[in-house]
Amino acid sequence: MGIRDRLFGRAAEAAPPAPTTSPILRPRPAPPPGASNYVILILDSCRFDSWVRAKPKVMSKLGPLEKRYTYATWTAPSHYNLLIGLLPHSSPPQVYASEYYKDDFLKFKDRFRLPDMTFGSMVPNLWLPKYLQSIGYRTNMFVSMPVLNPETPINVGFDTFELLDHHNDVTQAFRKMRFYADRPSFFVINTGETHYPYATPDEPENHWPRISGVNGVFKHLDDHLRKGGIVPASAADKFFDDDKMKQLHRRQVNAVEWVDRQVEMLFDLCPDNTYITITADHGELFGESGYFGHGPINHEKCIEVPFVEGRLR
């Protein structure tokens, strides 16, 4: 019985069998017996309530939805936090930060099925990909945002690290994934359908919304129309037209729905004993408190993110 049979109660095309032996790697030991594959899928800029409105059916099969909080409001630093083992947090009250970090990190023992994994085992690098390589994993990262391109410092400890050709088609990453019978794999996938302009690959580019800039605080849509150096207040105010902001938010919700349908492919590709976490790197603002986007914004909607995870058995 295939993975899709178990999760969705219907038949699926059989996934091709995994090659027995992985291609030649940098020297590393045999992996611990029973270690599991682990996939982290990051929906760039997806805020929590966009997920709630989308009501994703496929991704929700992994487990209950949690509202979590990102450590950073921009793509690059939030991914750095993730790769040192800091997934979005639950903001627990009356807990010392050091104790939360320790307890949260220990959850990786179950995700990877590595009972001997400790925070101290990551010292001094404090870098999850390098630690995993040191115990025999293959490590892979596919990204859609250019700020994470292979020339940036985040590309450390990966056997494969690629910037995808299109920012808004997660199936590119799924088609590149390879699993091997002789050692487990770790995948990090950053996908941008839920990032501005909240476009899916089936939508022509000439239908995308056009805003001058893609991150941070945008005060008006019509910079390119200015002939002087100052935009009148009435013109700037047009940027935060309620209908325009609602349309943009709806586009992000639509993008979540599209990604949800594609995740069926991911579930079919992954072998048994694969753990999957799906979350976001940060949220997004759609006019609340006079903000749009993310980055230099201190607002709860920029730090609230969805979080689901579970194991394919």
**Fold category of 3-8+36-203+211-312 in CATH:** Alkaline Phosphatase, subunit A (3.40.720)
Residue-by-residue pLDDT tens, the chain, 313 positions: 344 454 444 444 445 566 668 887 878 999 999 999 999 999 999 999 999 999 999 999 999 999 999 999 999 999 999 999 999 999 999 999 988 988 899 999 999 999 999 888 888 889 999 999 999 999 999 999 999 999 999 999 999 999 999 999 999 999 999 999 999 999 999 999 999 999 999 988 888 887 654 443 333 333 433 334 433 444 444 556 788 899 999 999 999 999 999 999 999 999 998 999 999 999 999 988 888 889 988 899 999 999 999 999 7
Identity of the amino acid at 242:
D
Asked if 280 and 73 count as a contact pair (C-beta separation under 8 A), the reply is: no
DSSP string, 150-199: TTSTT--S-SEEEE-S-TT-THHHHHH----SSS-EEEEEEE-TTSTT--
Taking CA 175 as the corner, what is the angle to CA 169 and CA 181, rounded to the nearest 5 degrees?
Answer: 145
How many Å is the maximal CA-CA distance in the chain? 67
Contacts of residues 139-143 at CB distance under 8 Å and 24 or more positions apart, as own/partner, are: 139/185, 139/186, 140/177, 140/185, 140/186, 140/187, 140/188, 141/187, 141/188, 141/189, 141/190, 142/172, 142/173, 142/176, 142/187, 142/188, 142/189, 142/190, 143/189, 143/190
Domain parsing of the chain, residue ranges: 3-8+36-203+211-312
